[in-house]
Structure 1
Amino acid sequence: MLTIRRDAYDEIVHHGYAGGDEEVCGVLAGEHGADASRVTDVSRVENVADAPQIRYAMDPEAQLQRIDEIESRGLDVVGFYHTHPTGPARPSAVDADRATWPGYSYVICAFDGHPYLGSWRWNGEEFEQETVAIAEE
């Protein structure tokens, strides 16, 4: 299960709208657990993919910098997020090929009609969908 604070959820949605027809991405921070995690903060990372309309690739140096910042604040990396501007609201084959953090959440916010945010944990071989709960605090 993934619990995400309302302000973190809103940040992902607003980042997605700002990206227009290109995928945006970032790192999720908070409390990481084996079965349940809580997102309290979102850190944007530039998408440097060669075709940002259909895939994402985080700038490696910026991603490492964000992870260092998160850990220096005493938080855990919970996972990562990116958008699918035209859907679907599930991981693609490319997302699975590029997943590298087993046990962590991969959030996808899709905008095909209205914003939908879903989350999947990568088990090292495939994504397993997890329940998402929005928390006010």
Structure 2
Amino acid sequence: MPSTLTSAAHTAILAAAEAAHPHEACGLLLGHGGHIETALPAANVHPEPQHHFEIDPAALIAAHKAARSGGPQVIGYFHSHPNGLARPSATDAAQASGDSRIWAIAAAGVVTLWRDSPSGFEPLSYAIKES
């Protein structure tokens, strides 16, 4: 079954990528199951943001607290690749935890989705769906 995301989430990922360029944008994917309702941009706190990303831990903690209070779940993460390749890099693979969360990668106006599986990233098909 393909993943879904709202047009607002899709737009937010692309807007964050454009705003951060030439640095990597990053943020959280919030929703339920395989449906991404919101893409919440976060500060990239990595010391080399032009080549790496690290989601601000305060944003991650706040999102998990909100989820425990009945808000949408943290179902994944997004970041951008200013080099124009919308696929996981060797750095992404090294940082991945194999926790089955969704990773969205934006590059050159395109968003791709990937499942962070224990055996590596698996491409995911997706559709835009509002609810």
How does the TM-score come out when normalised to structure 2? 0.90
Q: Deviations over 1:6-27 (max 9, x none)?
A: 0111111111111120101111
What is the CA distance between 1:55 and its match in structure 2?
1.1
What's 1:123 paired with? 117
Q: List structure 1 segments (4+ residues) > 6 angstroms apart after TM superposition.
A: none
Question: 1:100 maps to which residue?
Answer: 97
Pair 48,82 (structure 1): closer, same or farther in 2 beyond 3 Å? same
Map 1:14-33; keep pairs closer than 5 Å: 14-32=15-33
Q: 1:59 to 1:101 in 2, by over 3 A?
A: farther
Residue in structure 2 matched with residue 49 of structure 1 by the alignment: 46
Q: Quick check: 2:12–2:40 contact (8 Å CA) kept in 1?
A: no
Structure 1 pair 135–80 and aligned structure 2 pair: CA distance change class (3 A) = same
Say whether the 8 Å CA contact 1:89–1:117 is kept in structure 2: yes
**Is 1:59 aligned to residue 60 of structure 2?**
no
Q: TM-score, normalised by structure 1?
A: 0.87
Partner of 1:2 in structure 2? 3
SS in structure 2 opposite 1:3? strand
SS in 1 for 2:8: helix
Q: Which runs of 5+ in 1 are unaligned?
A: none
Q: Which moved more, 1:73-82 or 1:122-131?
A: 73-82
